[in-house]
Structures are given as structure tokens and as C-alpha cells.
Amino acid sequence: MQPNECLSPTNWKSEFTKLFSAIKTEKTIIDSITMMIGAGRLTTLIITAFALALTPALTAQAAPIVIKFSHVVAQNTPKGKASDYFKKLVEKRTGGRIKVEVYPNSRLYNDKDEMEALQLGAVQMLAPSLAKFAQLGVKEFEVFDLPFIFDNYQELHKVTQGPIGAKLMARLEPKGIHGLAYWDNGFKVMSANKPLKAPEDFKGQKMRIQPSMVLDSQMRAMGASPQALPFSEAYKALQTGDVDGTENPPSNLYTQKMHEVQKYVTLSDHGYLGYAVIVNKKFWNGLPSDIRSILEGAIKDATKYANNIAKKDNDESLAAVKKSGKSRIITLTAQERAQWKKTMDKAHKDNMRRIGAGLIMEVYKETGYPSY
């Protein structure tokens, strides 16, 4: 705008736009005022005053919305990699309007405290393992812990990607939590300082488990003594001998270096461990709808990514455990595995009422678990 130039109806809009984009720094603001005083136009000064009054609002809008995403595993695991991938997608697609801060390895909260932190809004996103939702009072999620209920990822996906998975997620809403997706990890191995081949080998073994009654029943059915401990304490408990053994997919075993303090690893694939990606519901509902759509798209893509890498990641971790030579790998014969399955079936029977027989039957129908 030139000195003494009038604000015509046609250039009002462009002057506004120029002014708003110009007032990014104090210097430009002062320059703008000086220029307009020079122009001697009252209207222009009024516009400037109006724009300055709006400056704090504009600045506040420019600050990114922060999503704190806390998890308990290492970065080089399926969950670690997928949450980093989600961050990358979101920050790129929102042009920096959203900042995702990923805190791995229980750096912010351990698995005992993270659910509460989410409900209180201290973090906005988590991806706890499915075994940890009973702590919230949603015991149905323990259906995923039932031993031998899934033979492979295909059977699992019939549940996680179908109506049963959606129904379970809906159960989180009254808890102030919105479920976004299921992310795969993998099938568990069993480790200890003695070879675990037959159920009798478990007798008296103190086994670290996640806080799930199904896993508790599973270990008791084998004759072991289950000890529920946060993931962040598992390695230390194994190292000091507070517990004798544990179970986890190879990826968690390897990245936590548990194989370095366990003499034997049995390839049993006796159960599944995976995640539900969840968000604080109030935070989610308060987001601008365009941002929410971008986040939904990013979750969809990160889920595809997570589920594509999970098997390979676990295979590579198992290969690394073997290569390390730190623990001996035990492969079960078909008969030995059948014996585990038969013995662990007690965990199904014992938890029918807790999880709900109806839900268990629905899952059996999808997966063809033998008792169905």
C-alpha cells in the first residue's frame, strides 16, 4: 500500500491478508504501523489495532497440538517402529500442526501406570498389550491371551479386523478411551533356566507374566507359579533370579536382552501378544475434524505397516537369539506341543465366566479352536 492511498472496497481483503501475514514479528508490526501513520489513514490504523488484538490468538493457533505417545518396548520392535512411523506420517501430513512425541521403553510410564496417565490426560496415546486391559475393568480383552486360541495371524485377523474386534474396542468408550486399531506383535516363546519341554518341567518355576488372569491360569495349569510384573521389571527379575522364566514373542525377548539371562528358549507359539492403539477420548473428540481425519488416515497406514513387519521382525529377532548362542533353543515335537495344548486348555475352562462364554464361543467360531 502506498502513502495516501485509499482503502477501496476491492483492496480491503488483500490489505487484511497482507497485514495478517506481515505481523509475524514485532518489527514488522511496528513497520506496518509506521507505514500506516505515514499514510495518515484512520481506517488503516483501525485495521492495525484490530489485527494486533488478534495476534495472541493467531500465535496460539500456530503452536502445534502435542500428542504424547507412551509405550514400554524398545524402538526396534514392531510397536516401536510403528509408533515412530505414525509420528512421521502425522507430522508430515498435518504440516506440523500436530507434534507426536513418542516415549519408548517405559521412559515416561511403565505399563502399570500408563493407563491411568491416559485417562487423566497426562499422555494422549498408548498401545498397551491386550493382556493389560483387564486392569481397566474390561476383562473381555483377555480372550486374546487364551493359549492356542489362534494358530496364526490369519485367524487372529478374523477377530481383530472383524466385528468382534470392533465390539471390544467399543467397550473402552465408557472408560474415557477411544480405540483406534489393533497392532500385531507375535506368538510367544517360553524361556527359563531349565529346558521346558513337558508340563512337568514347569513344576515350581516362578514365571513372570503380564497382569492377566488367563495367563495366571495358563501357568498354574502347567504347574508353575505365575508372578505378574511390569514389563520394565522383567529383565531385572530374571537376572537376579526373582523369577525363573517368562513368555514373550521373540522380538521382546531379544530387544530386552532377556535371552542373555535365560539358558533355554522353547519355541512353543502357545499364545499371542498384540496391542490396541488407544487415545484419550476427550482429547480425540476435541480435535478439529480435519485433524482427526488425518490422524485416522495415519493410523490406518501405520497399522498396515505394523502388521506387515511383525512376523519378519519376530523371525529376525529369533534368528538373532539363535546366533547369540546365549540360550539354547528347544523345538517341541508335535506330540509335546499337543500335550501343552491339552494341559493349557484348563485356562479356557477356568475363564469362561470371567471373559464371557458367549464371546469365547464367537472367537472359537472364527478360529476353529478345537473345543468349539
Segment holding 16, helix H or strand E: helix 9-22
Show the binding pattern over residues 3-22: x = contacts ligand LMR (CB under 6 A), - = does not. Answer: --------------------
What is the closest distance, in whole angstroms, from the C-beta atom of residue 370 to ligand LMR in the complex? 27
255 — phi, psi (to 5°)?
-70, -20
DSSP-derived pairing of the beta strands 206-209 and 264-267:
unpaired
Q: Which three cell numbers stand for residue 316?
A: 529376525
Q: Return all residues near 62 (Cβ < 8 A) that are at least 6 apart.
A: none
Task: Map the footprint of ligand LMR across residues 193-212, applying CB under 6 A.
Answer: 210
Task: Map the footprint of ligand LMR across residues 130-189, applying CB under 6 A.
Answer: 185
Report the residue number, 127 or 159, with the smaller CB distance to ligand LMR: 127
Report the residue number, 36 or 208, with the smaller CB distance to ligand LMR: 208
What is the closest distance, in whole angstroms, from the C-beta atom of residue 129 to ligand LMR in the complex? 3
What is the closest distance, in whole angstroms, from the C-beta atom of residue 227 to ligand LMR in the complex? 12
What is the closest distance, in whole angstroms, from the C-beta atom of residue 210 to ligand LMR in the complex? 5
What is the closest distance, in whole angstroms, from the C-beta atom of residue 127 to ligand LMR in the complex? 7
Q: Which three cell numbers stand for residue 191?
A: 524361556
Give the side-chain half-sphere CA count within 13 A for 94: 29
Among 72, 214, 237, 330, binds ligand LMR (CB under 6 A): 72
DSSP-derived pairing of the beta strands 245-248 and 189-192:
antiparallel
Contact between residue 251 and residue 313 where contact means Cβ atoms under 8 Å apart: yes
Contact between residue 108 and residue 229 where contact means Cβ atoms under 8 Å apart: no
Report the residue number, 227 or 252, with the smaller CB distance to ligand LMR: 252
What is the closest distance, in whole angstroms, from the C-beta atom of residue 128 to ligand LMR in the complex? 7
Taking CB under 6 A as the rule, does residue 73 contact ligand LMR? yes
DSSP string, 33-102: HHHHHHHT-HHHHHHHHHHHHHHHHHHHHHSPEEEEEE-SS-TTSHHHHHHHHHHHHHHHHTTTSEEEEE
Report the residue number, 22 or 228, with the smaller CB distance to ligand LMR: 228
Buried b (16+ CB within 10 A) or exposed e, 255-289: bbbbbebbebbbbbbbbbbbbbbbbbbebbeebee
Q: Which three cell numbers stand for residue 250?
A: 521373540
What is the closest distance, in whole angstroms, from the C-beta atom of residue 204 to ligand LMR in the complex? 22
Report the residue number, 93 or 211, with the smaller CB distance to ligand LMR: 211
Number of residues that bind ligand LMR (CB under 6 A): 9
**How many CB atoms within 10 Å of residue 303?**
20
What is the closest distance, in whole angstroms, from the C-beta atom of residue 251 to ligand LMR in the complex? 8
Taking CB under 6 A as the rule, does residue 277 contact ligand LMR? no
Longest dimension (CA), the chain: 96
Taking CB under 6 A as the rule, does residue 111 contact ligand LMR? yes
Among 205, 252, 266, 317, binds ligand LMR (CB under 6 A): 252
Backbone region of residue 98 per phi and psi (left: phi > 0; alpha: psi in -120 to 50; beta: other values): beta
Show the binding pattern over residues 212-251: x = contacts ligand LMR (CB under 6 A), - = does not. Answer: -------------------x----------------x---
Report the residue number, 48 or 124, with the smaller CB distance to ligand LMR: 124
What is the closest distance, in whole angstroms, from the C-beta atom of residue 328 to ligand LMR in the complex? 22
Interface with ligand LMR (CB under 6 A): 72-73, 111, 129, 185, 210, 231, 248, 252
